Amino acid sequence: MLISTYDLGHQPFGLASPASWLRAAGCEVTTLDLAIDTLDPDAVGEADLIALYLPMHTATRLGMSVLDRLRELGVRAHLCAYGLYAPANETLLRAKGVQTVLGGEFEEQLVTLARRVRTSERPDDSATADKRDLPLITLDRLSFRVPDRQGLPTLDRYGAMTFPGSDDRVVAYTEATRGCKHLCRHCPVVPVYKGKFRVVQREVVLGDIEHQIRAGAQHITFGDPDFFNGPAHAMALVRELHQRHPTITYDVVIKIQHLVDHDDLLPELARTGCVLVTSAVEAFDEHTLEVFDKRHTREDFARAVALLRASGIAFAPTFVAFTPWTTRESYIDFLTSIHEFGLVGNVPPVQYAIRLLVPRESRLLEWPGMLDFLGEFDDEALSHPWVHPDPLVDRLQEEVFALVDEHGATASRAEVFAMICARTAELVGQPLAQRLLSLDPADEVEQIPQPSEPWFCCAEPGRNQWDIV
């Protein structure tokens, strides 16, 4: 049984891909997406191997509750956790009964584990060394298989891509590469892939897309950490996709540095159906960009905004709004900059509330002075806690998060922005508040395609996410 808790409103690639490998190896596989369906105690009891997919912070927080529930049910299956967030949380996962932890390129390792479990005398015969000697992280170059989505909820039960003035589009999700060749200090990809990325063969990606189009997909989300890690691979892929399916649209994630360096490719992205680019901007101030090792500047960001607008591609920047060095002034500058760049309609509301996470093995722990801010690792929060030197900044983050959690999925982006500006102005008082009070959030708000699921991978779970589990 392969279990996913949450994958940002997508049908989980991290279940479909290993399911294909395992079924080809002769295993009977059940896939369970707890973002859509509920846990069946009888089905859990029949499994010899239960593998929990942990691709991000939110999914891992929710996954800990699932492990507690499995323990309550007294399952005798061999428990495995796999995905990006599994290796960093190995100690905690083993304390909750997980016997095998797999990170990186996990498909082949899951097949090896399944074969070992199958040859055991009983399902819970799992403490032996032959099941614990699988490498924690594997970065082997795999010959991938086309994902098998049999048994997963249909695509129309997941999040859609909302287009202004037209019907929502059913979304497919796939991955053309995994890992990343960059070493941003705050990024959870780095401790696992360490600057490497792995290509999913073009025919596999296109085969996955073909199956999902036949299942009703009208739009493709490429979930690569950076679609331009391998620009030649990326462009060959979207050219062929567009040739086969000229009405299909898609969205991608691309680093600011790559948008500037490969500006000649942006018109072709637009021509082949790209309607939205997401980019991890993180901040406007130079100090935060230096700490995060982002390798771009505010001027680069402004250039990327102009390039995308000129190409006719919508832009969705993401941020880490609250850090130990965020000040009242810098947060107000962050909000006013969003307005000045004309991006109020482009920024998902949760981005105004993201608080820096410092997981185990984060490169941020190498930054001089970082340890001065941090407490001991919090097993429940899955992060080193930190307290801001200015208590008002911590209070501001809590109140902005509460506003977003309550209104982010129901109010417009401009309305949520106005709420955040008003509450920030109340908390900081004059004269700082005057900069915010002079803004008109509804002024020239750009209407762009946007996913109907408003949450983000590095955000703490909100009420909707906890309600899932």
Tens digits of residue pLDDT in 117-136: 998 754 455 444 344 579 99
Residue 77 CA to residue 393 CA, distance in Å, equals 46
* In contact, 350 and 459? CB cutoff 8 Å: yes
- Per-residue pLDDT averaged across 372-388, rounded? 93
Report the pLDDT value the prediction gives residue 242, as an integer from 0 to 100.
98
Report the pLDDT value the prediction gives residue 288, as an integer from 0 to 100.
95
Report the pLDDT value the prediction gives residue 390, as an integer from 0 to 100.
96
- Per-residue pLDDT averaged across 179-197, rounded? 94
Report the pLDDT value the prediction gives residue 130, as an integer from 0 to 100.
44
- Whether 205 shows a pLDDT value over 60: the answer reads yes
Report the pLDDT value the prediction gives residue 444, as an integer from 0 to 100.
66
- Per-residue pLDDT averaged across 450-463, rounded? 80
Report the pLDDT value the prediction gives residue 140, as an integer from 0 to 100.
95
At 467, the pLDDT band (50, 70, 90 cuts) reads confident
Give per-residue pLDDT as tens, 403-425: 999 998 889 999 999 999 999 99
What residue has token string 């109010």?
Answer: 411
Q: Report the share of the chain in percent with pLDDT over 90.
A: 87
- Whether 459 shows a pLDDT value over 90: the answer reads no
Domains of the chain: 2-138 (3.40.50.280), 155-468 (3.80.30.20)
Read off the tokens for 43. 């089905």
Average pLDDT, the chain: 93
Read off the tokens for 375. 């407490």
- Per-residue pLDDT averaged across 311-322, rounded? 96
pTM, full prediction: 0.94
Give per-residue pLDDT as tens, 247-271: 999 999 999 999 999 999 999 999 9
* In contact, 48 and 117? CB cutoff 8 Å: yes
Give per-residue pLDDT as tens, 2-59: 999 999 999 999 999 999 999 999 999 999 999 999 999 999 999 999 999 999 999 9
Report the pLDDT value the prediction gives residue 460, as an integer from 0 to 100.
77
- Per-residue pLDDT averaged across 213-223, rounded? 98
> How many other C-beta atoms are found inside a 10 Å radius of the C-beta of residue 428?
19
- Per-residue pLDDT averaged across 112-116, rounded? 96
- Per-residue pLDDT averaged across 93-100, rounded? 97
* In contact, 397 and 322? CB cutoff 8 Å: yes
- Whether 229 shows a pLDDT value over 80: the answer reads yes
- Per-residue pLDDT averaged across 449-453, rounded? 92
